[in-house]
Amino acid sequence: MDPDLLLLGLIWYVVFLLSLTCHEAAHALAAKWGGDLTAFHAGQVTLNPLPHMRREPFGTVLVPLLSYVGGGGMIGWASAPYDPFWQQRHPRRAAWMSLAGPAANFLLSIAAAVSIHTGILLGILRVPASASFTRIVAADSAGAAEGLAVFLSILFSLNVLLGVFNLLPIPPLDGYSALGLFTSERGALALENLRRAIAPYAGIGILLSWTLFDRIFDPVFRIALNLLYPFSRYG
């Protein structure tokens, strides 16, 4: 494989692992605040990726690396354990727990955006003439600045993707459980009972979600770019 592709893959994997770790740690922390200590006792209220990798080695190691080698992108998954009886007793707290993961991804995108603009102000980075998933910002010189530009580009793009995708209101994604915030306790419980009932068909939900997401991500990505650079209109 080309050395540049290997370097890009390494940066992509570091960002991917950071993003998944923050997502699952946010779930675990929100559950702890809501009274469920399951993930806390499993050591997942942490930004150390190792507990998350041990729980889902295929989703955090094997699948991401194989998907990058096979297609140039990177997909995968992680998870945080929770007490289903706690969820039954406190469905709205469980809805907040679900929302915490995508919220962490959006915060990482905001952190990337702040870092990008700081780099531009310092003369290290610059606004690119055209943008793509891995080129949200360009380096103003060769060397370490190029690596920083790629890192921040993927950090911004990937976390927009993860945040929006997980908010789709389709089970088993977080956005479905988060619907409980807009209903009564009884309504939130009914939503969770339905999700549990159709859990064996979760793969269909993921396939449907990805099909829908494939159609909406381009406009979402353009909106994110234009929010990042409000005076540079990207079509």
Residue of 24, 146, 185, 192 marked catalytic: 24
Torsion of Cα atoms, 106 then 115 then 46 then 169, to 10°: 10
Taking CA atoms, 161 is separated from 20, 115, 206, in Å, by 12, 19, 15
152 in Cβ contact with 122 (< 8 Å): no
* 156 close to 52: Cβ distance less than 8 angstroms: no
Q: How far is CA 18 from CA 11, 15, 212, in A?
A: 11, 5, 26
Any catalytic annotation for residue 185? no
Q: Report, as residue numbers or ranges, the catalytic residues.
A: 24
